[in-house]
Structure 1
Amino acid sequence: MAFAHLHVHSQFSLLDGAIPIKKLAPAVAELGQPAVALTDHCNLYGAVTFDKSCKEAGVRPVFGAGLWVQPEGVAFEDPAGAFGGYHALFLIEDDAGYRNLSQLITTAIFDGIYYKPRVDLALLRRHKDGLIVLTSGMRGPIRGALAQGDPQTARARLEQLADIFGAEHLFVELQDVGFDGEAEANEGARALARDFGLKTVVTNNVHYLKAEDAPVLDLLQCIGSGVSLQDPDRRRPVTDQLYLKSEDALRALFPDDLDAIDRTVEIAERCHFKFDYKTYYFPASTPPDAEEGADTPGNWEYFYRAFPPPQDWGLPNPEERIPEKPDGAGNLNGYFEWYSKTGLTFRLKRVPEEKHADYWERLQIEFNIIESMGFAAYFLIVAEFINWAKDHDIPVGPGRGSAAGSLVAWAQRITDIDPLRFDLLFERFLNPERVSMPDVDVDFCQDRREEVIEHTRQKYGAAYVAQIITYGKLQAKLAIRDVARVCDLTFNDADRIAKLIPNELGIKLEDALREEALANLREGDPKVRRIYDLAQKVEGLTRQTGVHAAGVVVADRPLVQLVPLYRDGPEGGPVVQFDMKSAESVGLIKFDFLGLKTLDQIRDAVALIQRNTDQHIDMSAIPLDDAPTFALLQRGDGLGVFQVESSGMRELLTKLRPSTLDDVVALVALYRPGPLNSGMVDDFIDRKHGRKEVEYLLPELEPILRNTYGVVVYQEQVMQIAQTLASYSLGEADLLRRAMGKKKAEEMDRQKVRFLDGAKANGFDVDKAEQIFDLLAMFAAYGFNKSHSAAYGYVSYQTAWLKANHRAEYMAALMTIESANTDKILIYIGDCKRSGIRIDPPDVNHSFKEFDVPRADRQSIRYGLGAIKNVGSSAVDALIEARGAAGGRFRSFMDCLERLDYKRVNKKVLEHLIKAGAFDWTGHKRAALFEGLEGAISAAQRDQADKAAGQVGLFGGLGGAVAKPGFRPPDVPEWSDTARLGFERDAVGFFLSGHPAQAFKEEVDKYATCRIVALNRQTVEEVSVAGMAATIRQIRTKRGDKMAFITLDDETGSVECIFFSEAWANSARFFKEPAPLLVKGMLERSAEGAKILAESVELLTEIRERRTREVLIHVEHSEMTAQRIRDLEKVLAGSTGGCAARLHVRQPERAEVVLQLPERLRVLPNEELIESITQVFRRRGVVSLR
């Protein structure tokens, strides 16, 4: 006899199950049980992972889910606000049961949400086939009612279910897990089962693997409900018995129900549903005329409509006319070949004719592989949505990943990288000796990506297209924060613990303890230790669901027939309940619609250039040997250039000095930790520049390695060497590459024998062949996918070409795309200033939403209104519409306010425009505009109301225009420099019209070596520069020490300051609050610009306070009114310090007087004092320091 658990909740019963999905089947196998069911709450999230885990453990999987049933109908909502339904388990018996449970789950989520996703009896009746129902536990249809003394409700509910499912598919659960009233519930359940002729089954409502895991479930439930573990009013666990019990334990609990224990295995054996891992569900690939292979006009018309050729091929639009069927093009493979051949014919117009034969030969090879693997439809589907995007002017990337190695993809315009030009291998993409679904990831411009997804929905039908679910796990930092919250730790204390965990992807809490500060905190504080230990117990469990950023699946039938669906929020679209790997494994066709903002930048830059120059620019036809482009790359001018703008990459540019597109492609592959740390990059550079000889172990390697100077850089080179020396097929060679990358010893030994035997058969020296194999094995760990490198290297070159030849337009487009990233905008503005491009401030009369380059002055960029904080897209549109209306540009501040739509523009928007200086053109002071804004808006709205009421026309009839009062600025002092710059920083994130360091001109002139812009011209080694920290990036070294990279800026530019661990330990405190600083250090020069290896930091305020001997106040005699004297004395008395104050009084035609002020008025010479004195006399230049 045996037993199988049929009521089990894993981690996918979100925050109500504590069983890691991959541990369930091994635990069942360890107990010697033959089968187990997975019955999570209203989902099949873990079903595929569970299935594969069961197969590995030798356990029979049973699939199911727990659903909430609302007998009154899913439209019912209890007026008392309570949930009145009950819980039941549904086990999948066969294929029909899987489809029906998928439909029930999907309908519950999309149509039945009220507290929980619900189904009703009518829905169960429609979708009952192939399902076995268990009556669940204390929240089920009968046990809860029986425990509460309500047998009538229990009987009525069971009668309803029995009427739908019958005695063969409905079983009454018996449980003994430690809840109150269970004995009575079990007795009543047995009696009801007898009355209705039903059989019973023993379950244990499993939520964790072992009894000692009960506190983990309690912790998860507190996280889910957001209540404290210490909350006296919360529902607390009353049992620790919800674990995976042994058969013996259950037989001891149910000595009189042994048949109900044995029945669990009978039920499990009836559940014979299996996932189909061999079938692919390609949409629009089955034509109407007979079978798929039939070559008929009807099929040709079907495929031509389903997968129309791109517009620029000049073929008829299928909506207007279907051309006559070409020979052999009336079935799937035939149409696929026709489409590819037609596209290649167009591509070859730019290829020398003597090379055409190579292309046609390669095309046929790819046809044979693609068609034999059954993937012709996949290519046509991808080609359709990519070419639809291109036909609708939606930028598409030239390629991504290994797909760029396919000539078919290039012919069909899926990619724009010629694989023969770059020596790319198709078998790296699609290996006939390792059959798996092709994976074409596609980059679209960020702002129109959703249009392509929507097109796909419209084309195939909303029911056939969905996005892919993701599972958010309780990873290390999140686990700490969640556990700390329910343990009543303050946010700051939780944050302190979490921030000590290194920012490493997938880091475990156990591994994080290598951080000395974290380990010490845990050991030294019992409360922290408890939280840390609890967090480790929930770490890795699933917390929530989300939606994959790019993944979309498409099928040939409504997806609910293949997988249950989920919805991310009330307004969300359909999402398949399987994650990406699981969805692909059950045959769903997955596509990645990725957003690449670089494509937006290129598009916007080209539009600006074409507007300003009247030139048409085709980015696919730019010269690939452009001298200015390579000059830009060689000097490391890579800020804003795709893939090469990091400081490390820019430094590598200056060392490598790329001179060909192949060098740029190699650069993308080389700039990774493996090659950089192995010495491979240095070897590559030395060989390129002739400092090392380019050597080949065999002459046969030269054609393969010539473009990389004899260094194995790409995975494709490993494959080609194996093919050339040892007669590997390219499919075999791809398996060799994978084996080398994974370094599996057994497989490597087998491959080495194969390689050496092949080399020997080809007449090569075995010792030399072994040396080459060992070198390949070493390089394979660092080798990169050349197809991806070629595609992204090409985009990198395109952006470099734009920056080199149309710098202002490119930088404007770049800043528009990055307008929400203040740090990057500041860096790019510095780059513009260094290259002589002026940045003009925002101006409501001249600025647009985007950063713009005036046609008349292509050496300036006008700041974009869309980059001003708290303004928003709608408000900017309203401003520009008002400006573009009949009145033209605004004539005054009031003219602007009177023309605005106040449904879209509010006071806060206008305040931030004033702070940013966008109204400086009016001639009014910013402080006056700001203080008078509310009254001005009221006046403008009254004017609008008068116009709407027709009063303007009435007065106009008197024979002349009635003069309206203009803006009357209030009499308020202008903002101080500090206040003005602070407001600018509020509005745009940095300083536009000046810099706080300018307030310390005397200190900067005296103690700084130079301004930042002049650093590259310095001849000294040790320098001091003044400025403020624009960006701060702190990292940990390999030894665990902290160091930092600070971007320091002044009014002239910015410089990177590198603080090694000792300097950072002494200086970090100066960067806690924004403040003007003086940084001292060693100047490091390179082609990409100056850097400072920082040694020390001082606050400019402290320098001023420490080194100023006296404060001199310069006033005119006429300014010395009694009130001002009292105000000045009050200011001085409030600034307690050790610095003497003197009053310098100037009198017309009389001698100047300098008065030493009393000792009690000694002051602190800081910015606050200077501003306060300035406000007393309402003018600048009052104070000087000595």
Structure 2
Amino acid sequence: MFVHLRLHTEFSVIDGTNRIDEIVTSAATDQQPALAITDLSNLFGAIKFYKEGRKRGVKPIIGAEIWLEGLGKDAAQLSRVVLLVQNTAGYLNLSELLARAWTQNANKAQATISMAWLQALNEGLICLSGAQAGPVGQALLQGDEARAFDAAMQLAQVFTHRFYLELQRVGRPEDEPQVAAAVQLAQRMNLPVVATHPIQFAAPQDFEAHEARVCIAEGEILANPRRVRRFTREQHFKTAAQMAELFADVPSSLANTVAIAQRCNLSLVLGKPQLPDFPIPQVDGVVMEADDYFRYASQEGLKERMAHLYPDPAKRAAEMPRYQERLEFELGTILKMGFPGYFLIVGDFINWAKSHGCPVGPGRGSGAGSLVAYALKITDLDPLQYNLLFERFLNPERVSMPDFDIDFCQGNRDRVIDYVKDKYGKDAVSQIATFGTMAARAAIRDVGRVLDMSYTFCDGISKLIPNKPGVAVTLQKPPPDRKKDDKLVYASEAEPILAEREAKEEDVRTLLELARKLEGMTRNIGMHAGGVLIAPGKLTDFCPLYQQPGSDSAVSQYDKNDVEAVGLVKFDFLGLATLTILEIARKFIIQRHPGQENFAFENLPLDDKATYRLFQDGKTEAVFQFESRGMQGMLRDAKPTRLEDLIALNALYRPGPMDLIPSFVARKHGREVVEYPHPLVANMLSETYGIMVYQEQVMQTAQILGGYSLGGADMLRRAMGKKDADEMARHRQIFRDGAAKNAITQDKADDIFDLMEKFAGYGFNKSHAAAYSLLAYHTAWLKVHYTAEFFCANMTVEMDDTDKLKVLLEDAIKMGLTFEPPDVNRGVSRFEPVSDTVIRYGLAAVKGSGAQAIEAIVAARTGRGVGPLGDVSGPFKSLFDFCARVDRSRINKRTVEALIKAGAFDAIHLNRASLLASVDLAFEFGAATLANANQCSLFDMGGADDVGSSTQEPELVQATPWGVKECLTYEKTAVGFYLSGHLFDEVADEVRRFAKRPVAELLDTREPQLLAGIVTDFRIINGQRGKLGLFKLDDKSGVIDARADEALINAHKNLLKDDELIIVMGKAQPDRFSGGMQLTVTQVWDLEQARCRFGKYLRVVLGHAAHATGAGTDVAPASAATTLATPTHATPTRAPDVARLLKDYPAQREVTEQGDLWRGLQVRMALTCQGEEGAASVELQLGERAKFYPTNAALASWWAQAAPGTADIVYE
């Protein structure tokens, strides 16, 4: 017999491709009695391995390969040994050792364990010497027998009768010398030997995949001849017979594998929750038992809630019995299950958060269905008012841990976790590990890189993998015996091109075959988004800890399923940005509006007509849960009038039930008859117009019609979700029998059961939808009634996301708000409401600024700066004053340059070009001022007013002011978009002469319309008929989504790109999703081309005054046509040199099928002569060939030679 005592699974991450279920199956197939897992420095897969071994009849031996320090040739040299767990003491010690290795070596490259730790924590552990990688093996390979003897002696003394010298034969040249030396040393020291085989991959054919995984981790190329190759083809799973043959000459080494397995007898208690003890506070000086205090706190909490819900005592007394009955039922269930401590722990940290300025969500998930949770202020939604079910959260007929998901304000979440650590002990609290896996596309890219295939090739293959959010897509080939309920999407089926290329191209075949072997394997270790463990004592009594190098937070080495398996209880602390937004806005409201000192969102009326009008109009940008374009379109159709409508729409807007939205809307507005599956459920389904929207409605239908208890109905719902045929047949009969008691025929009962089964598959949790819809209502109410505060809060939270900021800015302008630019003299880090309609841009939203820099600016301005000038306060008087007073260690030139480009210094000096050119000089001045101030301070010469006075401010560097476009372009680099103006402004007057209709006034007509605007957000997608260009056309009055086909994209590549002015002809049609219009572009021009297309001629007035220009015609003023100013020194009677101008700016010839076409503007000369009988005017039309091409430069030349305002384009 033989037992494998070395195994790296996929959880070794940097090497090892063994999947736990497959390798345990191999051991079971070979009838090996046991198998050890020894991943490097971790127990990530230990619980999964333990459970799989027990299931397969293979004794699981838990262990780990560790990095050992202190036994090498010198202190810096590391070696590796294997530790195997014998019993519970060994498990606890290994957990502690591994936790120390990660948490106390966070700045080291390896998670190492010292000999001192081993001496203290070796009980219950067997040590294997590590073969060639161990301290003994390293010394033997170097021929240093004395050091080998010393290392072996030290380990043998620490692990008394539990230390074995390892022998390995895996095809390495040094194997035989090492085996011989180890056997000789064992005989000399009377130590046992053991044969081990380091299993890195399952089968010989998996060697290439394993090497690819190693190369991925190390950033190597597979074929690199200079790559260090640490593994051999022999390191696959070997049968007991193969191992017996391999070590036939050392039979004791084989027997000792079995002996070690017999000594390892760890038995883990799984599935038994271990809650920490909640410290019960005294009540009126009396110490209560936990159960009694739980009941007391719940009753008192309900009284407080009822006083708020029903201020009228008579109404409260009438309603109390049904609340009391529900509370008693829930209390009885919770006490019977033994979970009062869980509720008290959750209630404690939530109420601490609420009382310490950490906003908490009204509820999340099914927990909002509990009245006890509402009474303890864990949730803030009355479950009876919204018909929410406790059994959906905690089923009396199915004992399982309750699980509250709690939303906290993102900025304060860590404060709550710190409170929990302080209360229960830092060694009892941690967050939870997650294991990132190699998805299909990532596997292709990673494998392609190590195969040294081109990025373009690999990217092309990866893009053939279907991208289906929420659906698992795999590279694996569909099995021939695939089950009907197989929900996997097989890439080769979904994308025939992929299968075709694999069949024809060897490179594609090689890439996919290797990627398939690695797909789904653990790739990295992360932290669970919200899971926090609170243990009843040290966490390492349950599981080891892991800490990423450079991090200061430890996580469990087990994922959320495995921590629950070992008895740890998970509490979900989730960060929700919406709560942060509401809290920032609440503080603004209290600061700015007298009488609102006690403002709280939970006190808002839920029937505000203006708020529902916002929903009905679909103006829900930045409204929680309802911000998407699809949601906005749905809201415009549905026109919600109550919170129940929002709850239903929130639940319906997801794949599956989305198909029911048209029927829901039609029934709500009386366009479709409301029908119910049976009259007995009409009252229950009336709020959703007869449609089963929620899981709770499926449960209630089973209760009302089928005679189920709500606990039994929850089990039915779960069974329907699993689609177990036998289980469903059993429940169908139970439902039939119950329905018969309500006089429902079997056929009708089966129809209703089928309907329930359908809705159970995609019905939504009403408790969650209700809690989140309440938050949505709060954000919408805020947007309507405190619009400036709403946008300030949103933009502050999103200030690092330029795309979101831009959307918010555009929406704020639509809502009637204006923006002041960032200002170093008045601004702060965040966005601030200046008035109900004006917002000051946040300084921290300027790219490259940073929180520290803004803090330093505000500190200097308010007299809280550092250094000799730190107490100088007041606005900055100049750029030089700014650089002298702001802490130089917290701000740099790049930050100042970005602030200048963003306009943050405009209040000091308007010439941004001069300011930017003076930054170096200003920093030099600041340094000199500081040095002078320090010297004055050193010798105590003069008072504070004299500090730095001897340093004279220089003048700003002279520079030509930026034009409008240059100014806006710099703004865009600093904040991500135009802030102080719009690129369309400089051409608006001229463009409106021919493209007269602004985007905001676009007509819903089939007729082509002429529009002009700036291109933004241009991108190209692959459409059904070729490439499609999607972009927004923005003319400041409004923005419209536009699209151009591939022919237009190719013809106008120089125009169809961001920040370009274009003039387009196109057809508009309503866009249901956005609620606006969508433009299909058919023609595109730039401004010069548009002048030719829509201009009639250039009219030049000769002779008398310029005021003769344009009488009775549609003429663009010269100053508006371009940014080029007409010279003031022009002589009114001077005639332009027409011949010269026509020659310098000739018309452009275009060859067409009809012949040559000359694109340009004709010139018409208007002559005014003064005679005895008055002025006489005549206009001369120059010949057809007398055209010029109307570039800005050409027009500038005409204006330079003509009198001011006497040369203008006349448009149609």
Say whether 1:324 aligns with 2:311: no
Could you say what secondary structure the match of 1:304 adopts? coil
Corresponding letter in the other structure for 1:53: E
Asked if the contact 1:976/1:1171 (under 8 Å) is kept, the reply is no
Q: How does 1:297-312 map to 2 (within 5 A)?
A: 302-304=279-281
The equivalent residue for 1:288 is none
Q: CA deviation at 1:1024?
A: 4.6
Q: Aligned equivalents of 1:531 and 1:102: distance in 2?
A: 39
Q: CA deviation at 1:543?
A: 2.1
Could you say what secondary structure the match of 1:1010 adopts? coil
Q: CA deviation at 1:431?
A: 1.4
The equivalent residue for 1:219 is 212
Asked if the contact 1:636/1:1087 (under 8 Å) is kept, the reply is no
The equivalent residue for 2:714 is 734
Q: Aligned equivalents of 2:293 and 2:1011: distance in 1?
A: 68
Could you say what secondary structure the match of 1:355 adopts? helix
Q: Aligned equivalents of 1:38 and 1:711: distance in 2?
A: 52
Query: Which of 1065, 1068, 1075 lines up with 1:1082 in the alignment?
Result: 1068
Query: Which of 84, 90, 93 lines up with 1:91 in the alignment?
Result: 84
Q: Aligned equivalents of 2:121 and 2:414: distance in 1?
A: 34
The equivalent residue for 1:360 is 324
The equivalent residue for 1:744 is 724
Q: CA deviation at 1:1007?
A: 6.2
Q: CA deviation at 1:1012?
A: 2.6
The equivalent residue for 1:600 is 580
Q: CA deviation at 1:874?
A: 1.9
The equivalent residue for 2:41 is 42
Say whether 1:384 aligns with 2:348: yes
The equivalent residue for 2:704 is 724
The equivalent residue for 2:1114 is none
Identity %: 37
The equivalent residue for 1:311 is none
The equivalent residue for 1:336 is 294
The equivalent residue for 1:16 is 15
- Deviations, residues 391-428 of structure 1 (Å, cap 9, x unaligned): 10111000000110111111111110111111111111
Asked if the contact 2:1127/2:1200 (under 8 Å) is kept, the reply is no
The equivalent residue for 1:317 is none
The equivalent residue for 1:538 is 518
RMSD: 4.1
Corresponding letter in the other structure for 2:473: I
Query: Which of 901, 921, 925 lines up with 2:907 in the alignment?
Result: 921
The equivalent residue for 2:429 is 465
Query: Which of 222, 225, 238 lines up with 1:232 in the alignment?
Result: 225
Q: Aligned equivalents of 2:715 and 2:320: distance in 1?
A: 30
Q: Aligned equivalents of 2:1036 and 2:873: distance in 1?
A: 37
Instruction: Summarize the Cα distance change of 1:867–1:1117 in structure 2 as closer, same or farther, 3 Å threshold.
Output: closer
Q: Aligned equivalents of 1:1183 and 1:854: distance in 2?
A: 43
Could you say what secondary structure the match of 1:283 adopts? coil
Q: Aligned equivalents of 1:444 and 1:1094: distance in 2?
A: 45
Q: How does 1:148-187 map to 2 (within 5 A)?
A: 148-167=142-161, 169-187=162-180
- Matched pairs, number: 1127
Instruction: Summarize the Cα distance change of 1:304–1:1030 in structure 2 as closer, same or farther, 3 Å threshold.
Output: farther
Q: Aligned equivalents of 2:898 and 2:298: distance in 1?
A: 55
Q: How does 1:810-889 map to 2 (within 5 A)?
A: 810-855=790-835, 858-885=836-863, 887-889=873-875
Query: Which of 564, 570, 579 lines up with 1:590 in the alignment?
Result: 570
Instruction: Summarize the Cα distance change of 1:57–1:893 in structure 2 as closer, same or farther, 3 Å threshold.
Output: same
Q: Aligned equivalents of 1:1035 and 1:342: distance in 2?
A: 60
Q: CA deviation at 1:923?
A: 4.7
- Deviations, residues 883-908 of structure 1 (Å, cap 9, x unaligned): 33464334444444443332223221
Q: CA deviation at 1:537?
A: 2.6
The equivalent residue for 2:992 is 1005
Instruction: Summarize the Cα distance change of 1:851–1:400 in structure 2 as closer, same or farther, 3 Å threshold.
Output: same
Asked if the contact 1:1003/1:1103 (under 8 Å) is kept, the reply is no
Q: How does 1:779-794 map to 2 (within 5 A)?
A: 779-794=759-774
Query: Which of 102, 109, 133 lines up with 1:139 in the alignment?
Result: 133
Q: CA deviation at 1:323?
A: 2.7
The equivalent residue for 1:410 is 374
Point out where structure 1 has 5 or more consecutive residues left out of the alignment: 286-301, 306-321
Could you say what secondary structure the match of 1:430 adopts? coil
Could you say what secondary structure the match of 1:1098 adopts? strand
The equivalent residue for 2:753 is 773
Q: Aligned equivalents of 1:1183 and 1:521: distance in 2?
A: 62
Normalised to the residue count of structure 2, the TM-score between the two structures is: 0.85
Instruction: Summarize the Cα distance change of 1:753–1:182 in structure 2 as closer, same or farther, 3 Å threshold.
Output: same
Q: Which moved more, 1:1063-1072 or 1:826-835?
A: 1063-1072
- Deviations, residues 695-718 of structure 1 (Å, cap 9, x unaligned): 223222022111111111110111
Corresponding letter in the other structure for 1:787: S
Q: Aligned equivalents of 1:549 and 1:1004: distance in 2?
A: 52
Q: Aligned equivalents of 1:117 and 1:91: distance in 2?
A: 18
Instruction: Summarize the Cα distance change of 1:396–1:221 in structure 2 as closer, same or farther, 3 Å threshold.
Output: same
Q: Aligned equivalents of 1:959 and 1:774: distance in 2?
A: 88
- Deviations, residues 325-348 of structure 1 (Å, cap 9, x unaligned): 2xxx71111111111111111111
Query: Which of 270, 273, 286 lines up with 1:277 in the alignment?
Result: 270
Could you say what secondary structure the match of 1:921 adopts? coil
Say whether 1:256 aligns with 2:241: no
Asked if the contact 2:24/2:53 (under 8 Å) is kept, the reply is yes
Instruction: Summarize the Cα distance change of 1:56–1:72 in structure 2 as closer, same or farther, 3 Å threshold.
Output: closer
Could you say what secondary structure the match of 2:833 adopts? coil
Q: Aligned equivalents of 1:1135 and 1:192: distance in 2?
A: 98
Query: Which of 928, 942, 947 lines up with 2:928 in the alignment?
Result: 942
Q: How does 1:963-978 map to 2 (within 5 A)?
A: 968-978=955-965
Q: How does 1:582-661 map to 2 (within 5 A)?
A: 582-616=562-596, 617-661=599-643
Q: Which moved more, 1:441-450 or 1:842-851?
A: 842-851
Instruction: Summarize the Cα distance change of 1:488–1:1175 in structure 2 as closer, same or farther, 3 Å threshold.
Output: farther
Instruction: Summarize the Cα distance change of 1:68–1:508 in structure 2 as closer, same or farther, 3 Å threshold.
Output: same
Q: Aligned equivalents of 2:237 and 2:569: distance in 1?
A: 37
Instruction: Summarize the Cα distance change of 1:1155–1:928 in structure 2 as closer, same or farther, 3 Å threshold.
Output: farther
Instruction: Summarize the Cα distance change of 1:57–1:528 in structure 2 as closer, same or farther, 3 Å threshold.
Output: same
Could you say what secondary structure the match of 1:224 adopts? helix
The equivalent residue for 2:440 is 476
Asked if the contact 1:726/1:758 (under 8 Å) is kept, the reply is yes
Asked if the contact 2:1005/2:1068 (under 8 Å) is kept, the reply is no
The equivalent residue for 1:1049 is 1034
- Deviations, residues 1070-1109 of structure 1 (Å, cap 9, x unaligned): 7665533455332316696412053446363684597599
Could you say what secondary structure the match of 1:138 adopts? helix
Instruction: Summarize the Cα distance change of 1:916–1:1168 in structure 2 as closer, same or farther, 3 Å threshold.
Output: farther
Instruction: Summarize the Cα distance change of 1:915–1:160 in structure 2 as closer, same or farther, 3 Å threshold.
Output: same
Normalised to the residue count of structure 1, the TM-score between the two structures is: 0.87
The equivalent residue for 1:987 is 974
Q: Which moved more, 1:1084-1093 or 1:1163-1172?
A: 1163-1172
Q: Aligned equivalents of 1:684 and 1:240: distance in 2?
A: 63
- Deviations, residues 783-829 of structure 1 (Å, cap 9, x unaligned): 10001001001001111111122222212221221112222222222
The equivalent residue for 2:62 is 63
Corresponding letter in the other structure for 2:860: A
Could you say what secondary structure the match of 2:729 adopts? helix
Q: Which moved more, 1:254-263 or 1:638-647?
A: 254-263
Corresponding letter in the other structure for 2:905: F
Corresponding letter in the other structure for 1:24: I
Q: CA deviation at 1:1027?
A: 3.3
Instruction: Summarize the Cα distance change of 1:403–1:1152 in structure 2 as closer, same or farther, 3 Å threshold.
Output: farther
Q: Aligned equivalents of 2:1018 and 2:618: distance in 1?
A: 22
Instruction: Summarize the Cα distance change of 1:1145–1:64 in structure 2 as closer, same or farther, 3 Å threshold.
Output: farther
Asked if the contact 1:868/1:913 (under 8 Å) is kept, the reply is yes
Q: CA deviation at 1:1020?
A: 6.1
Point out where structure 2 has 5 or more consecutive residues left out of the alignment: 477-489, 864-871, 1099-1117, 1119-1123, 1132-1136, 1151-1158, 1171-1176
Q: CA deviation at 1:649?
A: 0.3
The equivalent residue for 2:400 is 436
The equivalent residue for 2:1101 is none
